[in-house]
A and B are shown apart, each in its own frame.
Chain A
C-alpha cells in the first residue's frame, strides 16, 4: 500500500467516523437513505461548478466570472428548452453560452495579456449585465427570465445522479487520462518545464477552458433544473452564487496530496453540502452560524494542509 493509499484510507475512515457520530447524535437522520439522497442532490451543483473551475483555474486562470457565467448559461438553456427544444435546447444552449463566456475571459487573459484576475472581474461585470439587461427587458413587459417548468430531470433523482456520474467519469478521464489533462496539470505546475517538453501552453489553456466552460454550462443546467429559475444578479454579487463551489475547490486543493483533484472535488462538495445539512439537522441557525462554520472549516483545512509548507505562499 502506498503512502497515498494509506492517507486515503485514514481520511475516509475519519470521515466515516464523523458521519456515524453525527448520525447517532441526530437520532438516525443523517445517514438515512432519504437524507443521503438529499445531500448528494445538493452536492451536484457545486461539484459541476468546481469541476469547471478546476479546468479553468488549473492552467493559472483565476477567473471569477464563473458565477455570472453559469447564471447566464442556465437561463439561455431554459429559454431554448421552453422554445420547444427540450433537453437538447437546455443543454446545448447552456453549454454553448458558457463556453463562449469562458472563451471571452480566457482570450482577454491569454491573447490580450490582461491579468486573469482582472479579466475575470471584467467578464463577470459584463456577463452579469447581460443577464440583468435581459431580465429588465422582460420585466418591462411584466415577464420574468425563463422559468424551467418541464425538462427538469437533470436536477432530480435519478437524472441528477446520472449527470453526476457521467460528469465525474468525464472530468476524471479528461483530467487524468488524456494528453490535454496531463498537459494542463503540467502547465499549471510549471510552464517552463511544459514549454521545454514541447507542450503548446496557449492551446492547452484554451482547450481546457473550453472544457471548463462545458462543465460550467452543465452546472447552470443542473442549478436551474434544481431550482426552476435563476435570477439575475448585479454588482459582482454573482460571486456569491459560486461560494459553495469555490469552497469545495479550495477544500479539494487542500486534499490534493490525498486525492486527485476530480475526486477531491466530489468529496469536498459532499462535505460542504453535508455541513449545511448536518447543521440544519442540529438546529444551527441558517444564514448566520452555519456560514461561520463553513468559514472556519475552510480555514482549518487550509491550516492543516499547509502545515509542512515551506515555499512562498501568496
Chain B
C-alpha cells in the first residue's frame, strides 16, 4: 500500500498561481517587475500585509472572523506615533500591547460571552476607528528619523523572516497551533478531547491583535508619521491574501503559514504588476476582483476532486 499524501496538488496550487502570475507580469511589464529594485519594493510592500496575515491565520484557522485589523492598526499607529517622540522602544511595545489587548478583548467576548466574532469585530472596527480620530484629533506627528530604520529593507525583511519562523513554529509545531486548526475542524470534538477551547480561541484572537500591533509598527515606519486613515481597508486586503493563498474560510488543518506568505505575494504582485503594466486606476481593482474569484474557484474545484479521489 502506498503511503501517498492526498493533498499534494492542494499544496502546489498557490505556487502554481504565483508562477502563472509571475510569467504574465514578466511579459506585460517587459521585465520591469523583476529588476532588483522592483523586487525589493515588492517585498517591502508585502511586509505589513504578511505580518498581520500571519496573525489572522490563527483566527482563520479556528473558523472565526476578525475584521478589526484595519482600525486596530490605525489606533496602534496613532498611539505609537505619539509615543515615538519620547522613546522608540516604548512606542513599539505600546503598539504591540494595544494590539494584544484589543485581540484579547475580542477573544474574550467571543469565547466567554459567546457573541459571534463577526458581530464583535464589526463593532470594534467601528469603535476603534473612532478612537483613532479621538487620539489624533487635528494633530499630526512626524516620526523621528531613527524610527525610520524600521522601513529599511534589510531590517524589515529580517524581522519578517524571524516572524515567519516564529509563527511557523507556533502554528505548525506546537499544541496551540494544532489546537486552533482542530477547533476549525470541529470545535466540539476538541472540547471533548479535553482541550481548553476557550483559552485557545482567546489565544488565536490575541495572536491576531498582537501581530496587527507589530504590523502597525511597520506601517507607521512606511508612512513616516501619524495619519487618521492608516489601516483603512487593511482587514480586507489581509483576508484576500489569505483566501487567494488557499486558507479555507471555514478554517481547519488546511490553514498553512506558507499559504499566507504566498497569498500576500500574489495580492501585492497583482497590484504592483498591474501598475507596472500601466494598467491603472479602477481597472486594476476590477481585475483583482476577477482574479480573486477565479483563483478561489480553481482551488475549490481541485480540492474537491482531490478529496473525492481520497474517498472522503
Q: Which residues of A contact B (CB under 8 A)?
A: 62, 108, 112-115, 117-119, 121-126, 128-130, 132-133, 136, 234-237, 239, 243, 246-247, 250, 253-254, 287-292, 294-299, 302-303, 306-307, 309, 312-314
Contacts and interface: CB of A to CB of B under 8 A. Distances in A.
A246 B121 CA distance: 12
Contacts of A129: 282-283, 285-286, 289
A124 B109 CA distance: 29
Prevailing SS type, chain A contact patch: helix
B113 to A, nearest CB: 5
Contacts of B88: none
Contact of A133 (B114, B122, B283): B283
B130 A306 contact: no
Contacts of A235: 232-233, 236, 285
Interface string B273-296: 000000001110110111011001
Given A122-B292, A123-B289, A133-B282, 20 more contacts: A108-B293, A108-B297, A112-B300, A113-B297, A115-B243, A117-B239, A117-B243, A121-B292, A124-B289, A239-B236, A288-B133, A291-B126, A295-B128, A295-B130, A302-B119, A302-B123, A303-B113, A312-B188, A314-B62, A314-B64
Contacts of B296: 114-115, 118, 122
A-B pairs with the 8 shortest C-beta distances? A295-B127, A125-B289, A291-B130, A302-B115, A129-B286, A298-B123, A132-B282, A126-B289
A30 to B, nearest CB: 22
Contacts of A113: 297, 300-301, 304
Nearest to A115: B249
Contacts of A128: 282, 285
Contacts of B56: none
B130 A122 contact: no
Interface of B: 62-65, 109-110, 113-120, 122-131, 133-134, 187-188, 232-233, 236-237, 239-240, 243, 248-250, 281-283, 285-286, 288-290, 292-293, 296-297, 300-301, 304
Given A115-B249, A133-B282, A250-B122, A292 B131 contact: yes
Contacts of B63: 314
A298 B282 contact: no
A136 B286 CA distance: 14
Nearest to B122: A246
Contacts of A296: 123, 127
A21 B129 CA distance: 30
Nearest to B281: A136
Q: Which of B116, B122, B240, B282 has the most CB of A within 10 A?
A: B282
B286 A130 contact: yes
A303 B109 contact: yes
Nearest to B250: A115
7 contacts: A124-B289, A129-B286, A237-B233, A243-B126, A253-B119, A299-B123, A303-B113
Nearest to A306: B114
A136 B284 CA distance: 13
A236 B233 contact: yes
A34 B62 CA distance: 49
Contacts of B304: 113
A294 B123 contact: yes
Given A235-B232, A243-B126, A288-B133, A298 B292 contact: no
A137 to B, nearest CB: 9
Contact of A294 (B64, B114, B126, B237): B126
Given A247-B122, A302-B120, A314-B64, A122 B293 contact: yes
A121 B126 contact: no
Nearest to A305: B115
A108 B289 CA distance: 12
Nearest to A298: B123
B130 A288 contact: yes
A254 B120 CA distance: 12
Nearest to A113: B300
Q: Which of A108, A112, A302 has the most CB of B within 10 A?
A: A302
Given A235-B232, A292-B127, A132 B249 contact: no
Contacts of B240: 121
Contacts of A132: 281-282, 285
A298 B119 contact: yes
Contacts of A288: 130-131, 133-134
Nearest to B242: A118
B163 to A, nearest CB: 25
Contacts of A121: 236, 239-240, 243, 292
B117 to A, nearest CB: 6
Given A122-B292, A136-B281, A247 B126 contact: yes
A313 B116 contact: yes
Contacts of A303: 109, 113, 115
Contacts of B283: 129, 133
